[in-house]
Structure 1
Amino acid sequence: MTFTLAQLLDSIGGVLKENYPDISVYSNPNQQGTDVPCFFIFFMPTETENQMGRRYMRNIGIDVVYLVERNDPDAHDQLVSVADQLDFALEFIPYDGGELRTYEREWKIDDEELHYQFKVKAIVSHPDNTPSIESVESYKGGIKQDDK
Structure 2
Amino acid sequence: MAVKVNDVLNGVTRALAEQFPNMPRYCEEIKQELNAPCFFVKLFPIAQGRGIHRRYVRYYTFDIHYFPDPDKEENEDAHDIVEQLYDNMEYLYVGASLCRCSRMRHEIVNGVMHFFFSIDMQLIKQITPSPLMETATIKETIK
TM-score range, shorter chain: 0.7 to 0.9
Aligned residues of 2:28 and 2:43 also touching (Cα < 8 A)? no
The residue aligned with 2:112 is 113
Query: CA–CA distance in 2 between the matches of 1:118 and 1:82?
Result: 15
Per the TM alignment, residue 95 of structure 1 is displaced from its structure 2 partner at its CA by: 1.8
Cα distance in 2, alignment partners of residues 26 and 91 from structure 1 = 21
CA distance in 2, matches of 1:5, 1:17: 18
Residues in 1 aligned to 2:133 and 2:122: alpha-carbon distance in whole angstroms: 29
Structure 2 residues not aligned, in runs of 5+: 137-143
Q: 1:103 to 1:132 in 2, by over 3 A?
A: farther
SS, match of residue 56 in structure 1 = strand
**Partners of 1:21 and 1:28 in 2: how far apart?**
19
The residue that corresponds to 1:39 in the other structure is 39
2:121 counterpart residue number: 122
Q: Percent sequence identity over matched residues? A: 19
My pick for the range that moved more, 114-123 or 89-98, is: 89-98
Structure 1: runs of 5+ lacking an equivalent: 139-148
Q: Is the 8 A contact 2:45 2:60 kept in 1?
A: yes
2:15 is matched with which residue? 15
TM-superposed deviation, 1:30: 3.5
Alpha-carbon distance, 1:25 to partner: 0.9
Give the count of matched residue pairs. 136
Determine the structure 2 residue equivalent to 1:94.
Answer: 93
> Normalising by the residue count of structure 2, what TM-score does the alignment of the two structures yield?
0.85
Moved over 3 A (4+): 132-135
**Cα distance in 2, alignment partners of residues 89 and 129 from structure 1:** 39
Please say if residues 28 and 41 of structure 2, whose CA atoms lie closer than 8 Å, have aligned partners that are also in contact. Answer: yes
For residues 73-84 of structure 1, the aligned pairs below 5 Å read 74-84=73-83
CA RMSD, 1 decimal: 1.9
